[in-house]
Structures are given as structure tokens and as C-alpha cells.
Structure 1
């Protein structure tokens, strides 16, 4: 399992969500991140999901 961090920002740059989770691979992490964004109604906010080694796997601006 790999560690990932999902972060969401407001238009003013304030962090709205900053949470870590684990997944088997990048595809699963992207799916988990997208689901979490939908649950919190943050899909249209600026967000990113990165791996432990800082690879960007999900981004929206």
C-alpha cells in the first residue's frame, strides 16, 4: 500500500481539506480521491492528490 495526500483549496487559497489515505496503486488513489471530493462537494474547487514522492496524480484548478 502507498500513501497519498488529498488537498483542496478555496478561491482565496485557504485549505478546505488536507487528508492522507492509502491505496494499492495510483489508479485506485485517483478513484478514492475523486470519490472523496464528490462526498464533500469539492469537485469544482482547486484540488490535488499527490504520492509520497510528490508525483501529482489528480489536479484541478
Structure 2
């Protein structure tokens, strides 16, 4: 399992969410990240999810 970071920002650049979670693969992490964003109401906010090597796997501006 690898640790992934999910961050959400508002328009001013302030962090609204900064969480980590674990997943087996980048694809699984992408799905988990999307589900968390929908669940917390942040799907349309600027967000990013990165893997342990800081590779961007999910982004919305």
C-alpha cells in the first residue's frame, strides 16, 4: 500500500482540505480521491492528488 495526498483549495488559494489515504495503485487512488471529493462536496473546487513520488494523478482547476 502506498500513501497518497489529496488537497483542495478555494479561489484565494487557501487550503480547504489536506488529507492522506492509502491505496494499492495510482488508479485505485484516483478513484478513492474522486469519491472523497464527491462525498465532501469539493468535486468542483480546485484539487490535486499526488502519489508518494509527488506525481500528479488527479487534478482539477
Would you call these one fold, judging by a TM-score over 0.5?
yes
> Once the 2 structures are TM-superposed, how far is the Cα of residue 52 of structure 1 from its aligned partner?
1.0
Unaligned runs of 5+ in 2: none
Match of 1:31 in 2: 31
Match of 1:14 in 2: 14
Task: Give the secondary structure class of the aligned counterpart of 2:22.
Answer: strand
Matches within 5 A, 1:41-60: 41-60=41-60
Aligned CA-pair RMSD: 0.4
Normalising by structure 2, we get a TM-score of 0.98
Unaligned runs of 5+ in 1: none
Match of 1:3 in 2: 3
